[in-house]
């Protein structure tokens, strides 16, 4: 399996050089390969969201290297980094953040249109993804007409709409009851396995973490 995400010596310091500086990450190293699902386990406030934002090119490290598909992201300008993030990274958060005025189908179509995909092809892709998670019959429903689990499954589909190489998820089932959480997690794993992408999933749920390929723990700013 080839490397999709590589983090080497990642450090993140806020208020650097000031008396109240905070060292969130202290030399974190990680490699995630294609087809691999990695659980990121860490207590609240430990910096896991910061790590995910750096991995997903939403933030830059104070020091260290981020590689995406073998390319050092620090060597790219802001425009190229934005292009890489839009084309190669999908995000899922604890709250679905679906656009309430659009249907489930439209929520999945919109990021494709932003990536210059023709509408007909974008709609076909959206329906294919919805069918994979058992929601093709709900395509015309707006978020308010969907359950919490259905909304999160639509969010997964949206994250994968542009065929990214890397999926980053921050507590994607943390806002759901245990039964719904299990259903949503199974849908996520099915999508990941069928697409062969790399996934880094932050979770407090140790039972879910145990069902992934391996677990890494963020402790005192380092990954173990």
Structural domains of the chain ordered from first start: 33-60+81-219 (3.40.50.300)
- Name residue 145's beta-bridge partners: none
Q: Would you give the DSSP letter of residue 35?
A: T
Q: What is the pLDDT of residue 26?
A: 87
Nearest to 51 by CA among 21, 27, 76: 27
Among the residue ranges 105-109, 151-155, 172-176, the one predicted with the least confidence is: 172-176
For residue 147, pLDDT beyond 70: yes
Contact 152, 184 (CB under 8 A): yes
What stretches of the chain adopt beta strand conformation (E)? 3-14, 22-33, 37-41, 63-68, 71-72, 89-92, 166-170, 198-202, 214-219, 222-223
179 or 105, higher pLDDT? 105
For the whole model, what pTM was predicted?
0.88
The mean pLDDT value for 43-59 works out to 87
pLDDT value for 55: 92
pLDDT for res 17? 64
Q: What is the mean pLDDT of the chain?
A: 88
Closest to 158 (Cα-Cα) out of 95, 192, 112: 112
**Mean pLDDT throughout 69-97?**
85
């Amino acid at each position: 399996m080839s490397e999709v995400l590589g983090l080497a010596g990642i450090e993140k310091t806020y208020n650097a050089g000031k008396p109240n500086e905070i060292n969130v990450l202290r030399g974190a190293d990680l490699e995630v390969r294609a087809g691999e699902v990695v659980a990121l386990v860490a207590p609240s406030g430990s910096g896991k969201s910061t790590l995910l934002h750096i991995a997903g090119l939403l933030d830059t490290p104070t020091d260290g290297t981020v590689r995406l598909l073998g390319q050092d992201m620090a060597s790219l300008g802001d425009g190229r980094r934005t292009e890489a993030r839009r084309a190669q990274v999908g995000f899922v958060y604890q709250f679905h953040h679906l656009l309430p005025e659009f249907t489930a189908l439209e929520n999945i179509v919109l990021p494709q249109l932003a990536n210059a995909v023709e509408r007909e092809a974008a709609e076909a892709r959206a329906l294919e993804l919805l069918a994979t998670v058992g929601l093709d019959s709900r395509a015309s429903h707006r978020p308010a007409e969907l359950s919490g689990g259905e909304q999160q499954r639509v969010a997964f589909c949206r994250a994968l709409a542009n065929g990214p190489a890397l999926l980053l998820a921050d507590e994607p089932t943390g806002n759901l009851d245990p039964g719904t959480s299990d259903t949503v997690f199974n849908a996520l794993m099915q999508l990941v396995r069928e697409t062969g992408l790399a996934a880094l999933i932050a979770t407090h749920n140790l039972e879910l973490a145990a069902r992934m390929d391996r677990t890494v723990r963020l402790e005192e700013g380092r990954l173990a």
